[in-house]
Amino acid sequence: MSGMQDFHKFFGDPLRKMDDLVAIGGDFSSDRLLYAYTHGIFPWSQNPIRWYCLHPRAIFEIDGLHVSKTVRKKIRQQVYKVTFNQAFLEVMRGCADRVNEITWITDGFIKGYTDLHKKGYAHSVEAWNEAGQLVGGAYGVAIGRFFAGESMFSKQSDAGKVALTYLFEALFRDGFTLFDTQQLNEVTWSLGAYEITKELYLDRLYKAVEIPDKWEPVSSLDTEKFLIMEKKVK
């Protein structure tokens, strides 16, 4: 299937869906993923692909990330070098590598989001140690002023959280208005995420993606002028 009308027929109107699961099947084509994300829908499994629009929905305010004293110290001491879009595939593989846990980031996900990355709509942020090894990072989808955070990983202490702080700082400086984290859990709650209704989420989303620009994150940020780090530690 292709075209907005076909995707609308496949997914339906998420506001009219009584369940979180809105569709089964389809593929990971860039056009389908872009349609899904701009309508509050995301994939969460493969074989077959299952598409969801959750109620309630977990989000972050762009300036609402809780940055711990430990993470702040590591940023100021530049314990990790942080980059954007330098190792997207490797970040996805890092997120998929879960100890004693079955991953939902299968080969189909990796190919689909890598294609979306090549089109300029999926992005990664990477944390590197002094030896030049990738030790943490996160990836997600950016459309207009909306960012959907997909996953994060750490192989060394706080590496993922340092990368996430850089990501939020870049989004804040570039005027983003909505960060979707899909479902609240202990980690996202501790970092400042909270839940809103599906109706409110979709209203905020449609405003954020009204002009579906591609995002070009800056290559570096001045650690002496981190705006979100000036907020009080929660």
Of 59, 29, 31, 25, the C-alpha closest to 45 is 25
Q: What region does 20 belong to: left with phi over 0, alpha with psi -120 to 50, or beta?
A: alpha
pTM, two decimal places: 0.94
Place of tokens 């389809």: 26
Task: Delineate the domains of the chain, giving CATH numbers in brackets.
Answer: 4-55 (3.30.70.3550), 58-230 (3.40.630.70)
Q: What is the pLDDT of residue 1?
A: 43
Secondary structure class of 84 (helix, strand, coil): strand
Average pLDDT over residues 86-109: 90
Q: Within a 10 A sphere around the Cβ of 69, how many other Cβ atoms?
A: 8
pLDDT band at 234 (very low <50, low <70, confident <90, very high): very low
The pLDDT tens digits of the residues spanning 11-35 come to: 999 999 999 999 999 999 999 999 9
Q: What is the pLDDT of residue 4?
A: 80
